[in-house]
Amino acid sequence: MDLPRSFTIRESSHRIHNPLTSQKLAVLGEALNPPPGIRMLDLACGSGELLCTWARDHGVTGTGVDISTVFLASARARAIELEVADQVAFTHGDASGHVADDPVDIGSCVGATWIGGGVAGTVDLLRRSLRPGGMMLIGEPYWRREPLDQATVEGCHATSEDDFRVLPELLEQFGELGCDVVEMVLADQDSWDRYVAAQWLNTRRWLDAHPDDELAEQMRAELTVAPARHARYQREYLGWGVFVLMNR
Q: What is the CATH number of the domain that holds 115?
A: 3.40.50.150
- Per-residue tens of pLDDT for the chain, all 248 residues: 789 999 999 999 999 999 999 999 999 999 999 999 999 999 999 999 999 999 999 999 999 999 999 999 999 999 999 999 999 999 999 999 899 999 999 999 999 999 999 999 999 999 999 999 999 999 999 999 999 999 999 999 999 999 999 999 999 999 999 999 999 999 999 999 999 999 999 999 999 999 999 999 999 999 999 999 999 999 999 999 999 999 99
162 in any annotated domain = no
For residue 144, give the nearest of 69, 239, 38 by alpha carbon.
239
Burial class (CB within 10 angstroms; exposed 0-12, middle 13-18, buried 19+) of 80: exposed
* Structural domain total, the chain: 1
Name the residue type at position 4: P
For residue 221, give the nearest of 207, 235, 233 by alpha carbon.
207
Domain of residue 183 covers 5-96+105-143+168-247
CA 122 to chain centre: 13
pLDDT value of position 15? 97
149 in any annotated domain = no
110 in any annotated domain = yes
**How far apart, in whole angstroms, are the C-alpha atoms of residue 33 and residue 18?**
22
Give the dihedral sign, CA 202/16/194/188.
positive
156 in any annotated domain = no
**How far apart, in whole angstroms, are the C-alpha atoms of residue 234 and residue 129?**
33
Name the residue type at position 58: H
Q: Are strands 130-143 and 238-247 parallel, antiparallel or unpaired?
A: antiparallel
227 in any annotated domain = yes
Phi and psi based region of residue 238 (left: phi greater than 0; alpha: psi -120 to 50; beta: remaining): beta
Q: Helix, strand or coil for residue 91?
A: strand
159 in any annotated domain = no
**How far apart, in whole angstroms, are the C-alpha atoms of residue 77 and residue 48?**
10
**How far apart, in whole angstroms, are the C-alpha atoms of residue 138 and residue 110?**
5
pLDDT value of position 2? 87
